[in-house]
Amino acid sequence: MSYALAYPERVSALVYVAGTGIGPEADWRTEFEDNLLARLGEHPERLTRRRELTGGPRRTAEEEREGAALQWPSEFEDRERALEHAERMATPWFGSNVECHRVLNAEARSLCGTPALEAACQALDVPVLIADGARGHPAALGGGLTGAGPAVRVPGDGAGGRSPAVGGGSAGFREAAAAGLGPGA
């Protein structure tokens, strides 16, 4: 989205997948974490292990990978294959760039929820397709975006997980993206 706002002349459409919206973090963080814990709680042993891994000092690369592979299944609607999808994403493991993550989050916190960002999104003159599942980030995250640009579409019934392009909802995601982007997508 940042690229589309910075270079609108180079963008013909925007597909916004599993994002946090343009509002402040306070609008989504608590509900997202509650949803995450509920999904992780479907497998208490995984939740316990994840808490062990995230509750202490800096982790080794192996522990970091294990923690990610334990959390990521919560993002897939296909519950039977969720762990398989997460393991595939974590293999090979490239690690997390903690400093980059910190800088990007700080930038997002300084921009999200500002009138300037909302105005920039409203001025963006390209079709926007928002694809996110109700059990991913809270449904309100399209908030701001759904009223910001032209031809905004929210595909499907919103029942998918945070990663609608993977797993059980992927066919529906592909259809919605193709419909939103037009021929040749």
Q: How far is C-alpha 41 from the chain's CA centre?
A: 20
Q: How far is C-alpha 84 from the chain's CA centre?
A: 19
What are residue 131's phi and psi, to 5 degrees?
Answer: -125, 115
Do residues 174 and 168 touch, judged by C-beta distance below 8 A?
no
pLDDT above 60 for 52: yes
106-154 pLDDT tens trace: 999 999 889 999 888 888 888 877 776 655 555 555 556 665 555 555 5
Q: How far apart are CA 73 and CA 94, in angstroms?
A: 18
- pLDDT value at position 171? 63
State the amino acid at position 29 in one-letter form. R
- For the chain, give the mean pLDDT: 79
* Average pLDDT of the residues in 97-103: 92
Vertex 16 angle, CA 12 and 18, to 5°? 165
Q: How far apart are CA 162 and CA 19, in angstroms?
A: 9
* Average pLDDT of the residues in 74-95: 88
β-bridge mates for residue 130, sequence order: 16
- pLDDT value at position 135? 56
* Average pLDDT of the residues in 167-174: 62
Domain assignments of the chain as residue spans, ordered by start: 2-181
13-28 pLDDT tens trace: 888 777 777 888 888 8
Kind of pairing, strands 14-17 and 128-131?
Answer: parallel
DSSP summary character for residue 123 = H
- pTM here is 0.71
DSSP summary character for residue 60 = P
Respond yes or no on whether the N-terminal peptide bond of residue 115 is cis (omega within 30° of 0). Answer: no
β-bridge mates for residue 129, sequence order: 15, 153
